[in-house]
Amino acid sequence: MSRLSIPAVADAPAASQPLLAAVHKKLGVVPNLMKLLAQSPAALEGYLSLSGALDKGALNAKLRESLALAVAEFNGCDYCLAAHSYIGKNLVKLSDDEIAQARDGRATDARNDAALRFAQRVAGERGRVQDADIAALRAAGFSDAETVEIVLHVALNVLTNYVNNVAHTDVDFPRVSSHTHA
């Protein structure tokens, strides 16, 4: 059970209502994380703004979902693992094997593998990566702009992982447990 309240959409503050309507239009549902964030219109707007901006970036949807899975596994966030496993499989069309690999910070594709390894280093070292980590990413073909986007995807996912880990957000996707909680 969630430690922080998850209001019904109708009970969210007025300033959150148009944002929740946009989430519903995009996804067909309003996930519990969005309802939780909606208690603070500023928090919901901040999350949706950064997420929306990054969706327009250079990284493709499969890599973005893979990054979300790698970071969620790293942070032991069962809510985000469930959400991104579902989104990855059903919307982005990641295979079960690609989802499992992403959770381990790996990919069969060398370029995506480099990105996931880098993301794990960013998360694990709190951004204090080594020159060799950046060199490996560049060797895989990532530009500095794409490197910045990877870092921002790590940060965005850490944000949701931490909110969910603090709140124990009720999982409203098919359940997936982190390896650390298995």
Confidence of residue 176 (pLDDT cuts 50, 70, 90): confident
- Residue of 82, 84, 68 whose CA lies nearest to 150: 68
Write down the residue that tokens 């992403």 correspond to.
Answer: 102
Q: What is the average pLDDT across 91-110?
A: 97
Write down the residue that tokens 């309003």 correspond to.
Answer: 30
Q: In the chain, where does the domain assigned CATH 1.20.1290.10 lie?
A: 61-167
Residue of higher predicted confidence among 178 and 68: 68
CATH node for 9-55: 1.20.5
The matching CATH number, chosen from 3.50.50.60, 2.60.40.720, 1.20.1290.10, 1.10.10.10, for 61-167 is 1.20.1290.10
First vs last Cα of the chain: how many Å apart?
18
Q: From CA 68, how far away is CA 80, in angstroms rounded?
A: 8
Q: In the chain, where does the domain assigned CATH 1.20.5 lie?
A: 9-55
The size of the chain, in residues, is 182
Whether the Cβ atoms of residue 94 and residue 102 lie closer than 8 Å to each other: yes
pTM assigned to the model: 0.94
Q: What angle, 0 to 180 degrees and rounded to 10, lies between the N-to-C axes of helices 41-55 and 144-167?
A: 150
- Residue of 66, 98, 62, 59 whose CA lies nearest to 81: 66
Write out pLDDT tens, residues 62-92: 999 999 999 999 999 999 999 999 999 999 9
